[in-house]
Amino acid sequence: MCPSPSWALFLDVDGTLLHLAETPEAVEVSDHLRDVLARLTPAFGGAVALISGRRIEDLDRIFAPLRLPAAGLHGLEHRDTRGNLSLLGEAEMLSPLRGPLREFAGRHEGILLEDKGRTLALHYRMAPEMEAEARRLVAGLAGRHADCLRVIDGKMVLEIKPRLSDKGAALRSFLSEQPFRGRRPVFIGDDVTDEDAFRAVNELDGHSIRVGNGTDSLAYWQLADVNAVIGWLEQIPKVFKQETEIENDDTDE
């Protein structure tokens, strides 16, 4: 797969650009990664965006001073290249679930409830022995609102969100606006939450890239881990530069 300046590049964050940590706040962003992302943006004519389960405000905080177009909360938040922000859903949609989830997290050491406003994420990475009980609780709570809520089964996290958007819909939304419109979409992700984006990319004749060794995925391509992703991304501007220099040499002849 040879990179092209005509691509629109969409990137998941946790597990793709960042190594997973015990808690969402514990992730680390290197200056090198910020530099790689900053160089990618002009290489693709500005058509680079983050599509994450995190809130956009959290993405801005951890990648500061870099500020990219982004879809947060699996597409419930959307910020275009001009900085315009649009939101779907209301925090009140999840009000009946907050109390039981908060109480469960308070009773069990290692269980973390991440309240993102429009979504609720129950993490059991630090208490893997609680997985079965966490699943029963989340299934019971969300099942009462199955018509409007969806559970996303991630890596040691169960996230409840409104059925108003997903990462595939977020990607399609970017492709309806400049500078993404008319470009071939490329999406890199690592988790179940990214399968919606893989499906959308495949339907649009783009490139879907899974991070890690999982075989049960819609992605057509694979990169081994976060380091492989960053290594591949940092080479892209260099490839474009070499191709331009070769074209210029041919023209001069």
- Catalytic sites, residue numbers: 12
DSSP-derived 3-state class of residue 241: helix
Backbone phi, then psi, for 160, in 5-degree steps? -105, 125
Given a contact cutoff of 8 angstroms between Cβ atoms, the answer to whether 157 and 54 are in contact is no
Structure tokens at 238: 């260099």
Q: Name the burial class of residue 197, with classes exposed (0-12), middle (13-18) and buried (19+) by CB atoms within 10 angstroms of its CB.
A: buried
Please give the single-letter amino acid code of residue 157: V
Spatial CA neighbour of 181 closest among 165, 202, 204? 204
Torsion sign across C-alpha atoms 236, 72, 212, 184: negative
